[in-house]
């Protein structure tokens, strides 16, 4: 563990209260941006209290999307065991989009990682003669992991640590205790506790209710943590009276009660925090050099989201459409690209378990300007996704298939253009006569499900004279992957004569990374996840390509 007397980093701990899903991730990213506006170096840790090693095996409907990092980290709880981690919490996508920094998988700490490392060490005899306990062994391991992130590469000026879940959750108790110890060890001048709560507005009485925030802060105080700043989520900005009441009962100055109102563009939040004075409050709290925040380029980017002169509708047929966060990075990537094109995107969700015939999908897609066929796993809802791809083949609607969406697009092409009845992916039909999608060779002997896919960043080699090459403007790029199954070249070679072209390979030339149709305005499928690299000030070229194709399709449709 580093000497706690060193000058940096300063620590910002972000906790949440009242209920989950109130925006701790966006708040954390926005606070990080406040420091970046002033030229300070930051790093972010997200602590997730669940017992999974990583979120890779979690259902997106339950937990939201799984974010994939460029790097893969080998987690070694003890010397002779290891787990490859590249799948991390969706909040890291928010961190990357706000800060422009690529995160490392070790920045996502889970209860599973902590408990496993301590228990395996005990089995190896690492605690001989001692009773292994939550305090000090679990809390010490948590602090060690935090300091490991600090020591990685250059030490940042500010380390932000978001604690997942809600204060009062039993799973988060050891992490909050570790935070209490760090605050005690480092001193209040090097630590700031930021508590995010909900302040509901009761329309029937026309009043903001502060009682949930009061109870939440008291729960935090009972754990030995006094918040230095309270971020209050509400429908609109809090009036002075509500702020004064929260300040009084939560034992903080009024100016440290910060409004976090509903806003149409999430990238506006750092600017909203600046208006509330939060950046200067944090700089003063840590005794840092006061610097004028440079918000010009960020403000210009935010304005681009409000300057739309057109609107398009993109259909997203998929398996997890009941929770928008299942496709969080895709949603944002579409918004980034649309803003650059001075347009806005309306997403039309299509649950393909319910809408599973070509007839109903033809009706569903009759009023859309483009289709993004979504990623996923398993057989539920697959026929509806195949039918959606089939409709785009016949109607010339622009299509972008992502990972599983690309694979199922190939199934649609095989069935409808090649006439291969029963063509499928072996993920769904192991006995298919035309297994156009099958397990990768190195996956066929793999039994474990967690962290064993083809994961992380890989080079993509783009074929010349393809739409993909024109979109990227280069022969080689680098993208993030998450898959076990891939497109089988012996079948795709036969599809070539019908207009299907392989447009990208991996470095070995054996794994197909992208396909497209030569006789369709925009029909592209990619094995990777371009959305993970899209940024609000730098949209991914593939999403730009889809938006531009959708605008052209809409123009032609309107003329008809």
Which residues are the active-site residues? 403, 529, 531
Q: Scanning the structure block, which residue is given the tokens 């483009």?
A: 370
Which stretch of DSSP H or E encloses residue 242? Answer: helix 240-250
CA distance 534 to 544: 10
Among 52, 42, 279, 273, smallest CA distance to 160 is for 42
Q: How many residues does the chain have?
A: 560
CA distance 336 to 535: 7
Which stretch of DSSP H or E encloses residue 222? Answer: helix 211-222
Residue 344, burial from CB neighbour count under 10 angstroms (0-12, 13-18, 19+): middle
Q: How many CA atoms lie within 13 A of 390 on its CB side?
A: 22
Q: Please give the structure tokens belonging to residue 357.
A: 């015939």
Helix axes 211-222, 240-250, angle to 10 degrees: 20
The DSSP line for 365-395 is TTT-SEEEEPP--SSTTHHHHHHHHHHHHHH
CA distance 142 to 155: 18
* R_g (Cα) of the chain, nearest Å: 25
User: Maximum CA pair distance of the chain?
Assistant: 82
DSSP designation for 190? S
CB burial string 370-404: b at 16+ within 10 A, e below? bbbbbbbbeeebbbbbbbbbbbbbeeebbbbbbbb
Among 246, 412, 191, 225, smallest CA distance to 317 is for 412
DSSP 3-state of 400:
strand
Give the C-alpha distances (Å, rounded to integers) separating 256 from 67, 202, 244, 387. 32, 24, 10, 54
Whether the Cβ atoms of residue 11 and residue 147 lie closer than 8 Å to each other: no
CA distance 70 to 61: 24
The DSSP line for 308-328 is --EEEEEEEEES-TTSGGGGH
DSSP 3-state of 6:
coil
């Amino acid at each position: 563990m580093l000497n706690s007397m060193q000058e940096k980093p300063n620590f910002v701990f972000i906790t949440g209260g009242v209920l989950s899903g109130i925006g701790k991730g966006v708040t954390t990213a926005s606070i990080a941006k406040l420091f970046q506006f002033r030229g300070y170096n930051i790093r972010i840790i997200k602590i997730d209290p669940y017992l999974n090693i990583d979120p890779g095996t979690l259902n997106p409907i339950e937990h939201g999307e799984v974010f994939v990092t460029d790097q893969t980290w080998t987690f070694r709880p003890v010397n002779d065991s290891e787990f490859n981690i590249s799948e991390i919490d969706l909040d890291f996508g928010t961190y990357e989009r706000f800060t422009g920094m690529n995160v490392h998988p070790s920045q996502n700490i889970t209860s599973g990682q902590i408990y496993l490392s301590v228990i395996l060490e005990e089995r190896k005899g690492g605690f001989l003669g001692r009773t292994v306990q939550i305090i000090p062994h679990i809390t010490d391991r948590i602090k060690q992991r935090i300091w490991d992130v600090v020591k990685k590469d250059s030490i940042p000026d500010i380390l932000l640590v978001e604690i997942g879940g809600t204060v009062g959750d039993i799973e988060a108790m050891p992490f909050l205790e570790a935070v209490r110890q760090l605050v005690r060890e480092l001193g209040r001048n090097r630590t700031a506790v930021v508590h995010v709560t909900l302040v509901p507005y009761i329309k029937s009485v026309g009043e903001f209710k502060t009682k949930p925030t009061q109870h939440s802060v008291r729960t935090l105080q009972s754990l030995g943590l006094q918040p230095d700043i309270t971020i209050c989520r509400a429908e609109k900005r809090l009036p002075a009276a509500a702020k004064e009441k929260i300040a009084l009962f939560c034992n903080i100055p009024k100016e440290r009660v910060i409004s976090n109102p509903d806003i149409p563009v999430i990238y506006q939040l750092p600017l909203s925090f600046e208006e509330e004075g939060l950046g200067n409050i944090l700089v003063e709290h840590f005794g840092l050099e006061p610097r004028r925040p440079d918000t010009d380029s960020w403000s210009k980017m935010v304005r681009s989201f409000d300057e739309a002169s057109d609107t398009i509708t993109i259909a997203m047929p998929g398996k997890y459409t009941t929770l928008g966060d299942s496709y969080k990075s895709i949603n944002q990537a579409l918004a980034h690209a649309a803003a650059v094109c001075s347009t806005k995107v309306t997403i039309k969700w299509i649950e393909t378990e319910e809408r599973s015939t070509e007839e109903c999908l033809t009706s569903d897609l009759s009023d859309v300007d483009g289709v993004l066929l979504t990623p996923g796993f398993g057989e539920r809802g697959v026929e509806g996704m195949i039918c959606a791809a089939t409709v785009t083949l016949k109607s010339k609607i622009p299509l972008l298939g992502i990972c599983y969406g690309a694979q199922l697009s190939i199934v649609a092409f095989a069935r409808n253009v090649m006439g291969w009845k029963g063509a499928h992916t072996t993920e769904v039909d192991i006995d298919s006569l035309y297994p156009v999608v099958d397990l990768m060779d190195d996956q066929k002997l793999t039994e474990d499900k967690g962290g064993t896919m083809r994961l992380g960043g890989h080079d993509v080699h783009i074929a010349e004279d393809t739409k993909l090459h024109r979109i990227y403007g280069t022969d080689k790029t680098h993208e993030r992957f998450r898959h076990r199954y891939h497109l089988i070249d012996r079948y795709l070679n036969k599809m070539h004569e019908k207009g299907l072209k392989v447009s990208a390979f991996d470095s070995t030339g054996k794994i197909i990374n992208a396909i497209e149709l030569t006789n369709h305005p925009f029909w592209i499928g990619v094995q990777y996840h371009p959305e993970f690299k899209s940024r609000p000030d730098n949209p991914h070229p593939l999403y730009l390509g889809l938006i531009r194709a959708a605008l052209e399709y809409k123009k032609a449709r309107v003329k008809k």
